[in-house]
Chains A and B, each alone.
Chain A
Amino acid sequence: MSQSRILVDSNAYFRLAKSIHPLLNVVFGDKQYCLYVIKELQIEYDRNPRLKNTFSWVNDSEYAENRSRVLEVAREEKAEIKRAYDFILDYVRTVHPGVSKIDVRCLSHAEQLGIPVVTDDEEMRSVAREYGIKTYKTLELLKLMLECHYIGIEKIREITAYLRYCNDMPKDFKADYEKLFGETPPK
Chain B
Amino acid sequence: MENKLNVENVNQKAQELGLNQTALAREMQVSREAVSKWLRNEKFPRPDKLLKLARVLNLSFAELVSKIPTGNEPVIAFRKKGAHKITSEYINHAQDMGRILTELVTYLPFDELSQPAVLKSPSADYAYLHKVTKRIRKEIAVQEGDEIHFVSLINFFNDLQAVIIPVLWGNKDKHENALHIYLPESMTTWIYLNLDCRVHDFKFWMAHELGHIHAPKLQGEEGEDFAEAFAGALLIPKELAACEYEALQKLTNAWSQINHIKSLAERLVVSPLTVYYEINNYAVNSGKAKIDLETHKEIYQATSNFNKQFKPVSECLFGTKSPSPSRYIASAKEQFGSPFFDILKKYLHENRKSASFIQSILNIRLLDAQNVYEELC
Q: A47-B367, A80-B55, A97-B102 are in contact. Are A54 and B354 (CB under 8 A)?
A: no
B325 (CB) vs chain A CBs: closest residue: A51
Expressed in whole angstroms, the Cα–Cα distance for A157 and B48 within the complex equals: 38
Q: Hey, which chain B residues are within 8 Å of A120, CB to CB?
A: 354
Q: A47-B365, A58-B367, A130-B47 are in contact. Are A10 and B356 (CB under 8 A)?
A: yes
Q: Hey, which chain A residues are within 8 Å of B373, CB to CB?
A: 168
Interface assignment of A167: CB less than 8 Å from any CB of chain B: yes
Q: How far is the CB of A39 from chain B (nearest CB, A)?
A: 14
Taking CB atoms and an 8 Å cut-off, the chain A residues in 61-106 that contact chain B are: 80, 83-84, 86-88, 90-91, 93-94, 97-103
Q: B360–A101 contact, CB under 8 A? A: yes
Main secondary structure of the interface of B (DSSP, over half): helix
Q: A54–B374 contact, CB under 8 A? A: yes
Interface assignment of B3: CB less than 8 Å from any CB of chain A: yes
Interface assignment of A132: CB less than 8 Å from any CB of chain B: yes
Interface assignment of A3: CB less than 8 Å from any CB of chain B: no
Interface assignment of A182: CB less than 8 Å from any CB of chain B: no
B357 (CB) vs chain A CBs: closest residue: A98
Q: A103–B356 contact, CB under 8 A? A: yes
Interface assignment of A171: CB less than 8 Å from any CB of chain B: yes
A111 (CB) vs chain B CBs: closest residue: B51
Q: A52–B324 contact, CB under 8 A? A: yes
Q: A51–B168 contact, CB under 8 A? A: yes
Interface assignment of B147: CB less than 8 Å from any CB of chain A: no
Q: Hey, which chain B residues are within 8 Å of A150, CB to CB?
A: none
Q: A100–B357 contact, CB under 8 A? A: yes
Q: How far is the CB of A101 from chain B (nearest CB, A)?
A: 7
Q: How far is the CB of B310 from chain A (nearest CB, A)?
A: 20
Other-chain residue from A14, A94, A132 in contact with B3 (beta carbon distance below 8 A): A94
Considering residues B323, B354, B360, B372, which has the most beta carbons from chain A within 10 angstroms of its beta carbon?
A: B354
Q: B367–A97 contact, CB under 8 A? A: no
Q: B100–A131 contact, CB under 8 A? A: no
Interface assignment of B65: CB less than 8 Å from any CB of chain A: yes
Interface assignment of B138: CB less than 8 Å from any CB of chain A: no
Q: A80-B55, A94-B3 are in contact. Are A10 and B367 (CB under 8 A)?
A: no
Q: B325–A54 contact, CB under 8 A? A: yes
Over the window 26-63 of chain A, the binary record of Cβ atoms lying under 8 Å from chain B Cβ atoms (1 yes, 0 no) is 00000000000000010011011111111100100000
Q: Hey, which chain A residues are within 8 Å of B377, CB to CB?
A: 166-168
Q: How far is the CB of A98 from chain B (nearest CB, A)?
A: 5
Interface positions of A (Cβ within 8 A of B): 9-11, 14, 41, 44-45, 47-55, 58, 80, 83-84, 86-88, 90-91, 93-94, 97-103, 111, 120-122, 127, 130-132, 166-171
The 6 closest A-B pairs by CB, nearest first: A97-B99, A100-B356, A86-B61, A11-B354, A171-B352, A49-B367
Query: Can you list 17 residue pairs at the A/B interface with Cβ under 8 Å?
Result: A10-B355, A44-B366, A47-B367, A49-B365, A50-B322, A50-B365, A55-B374, A86-B60, A86-B61, A88-B47, A90-B61, A97-B96, A98-B353, A103-B356, A130-B47, A166-B374, A167-B377
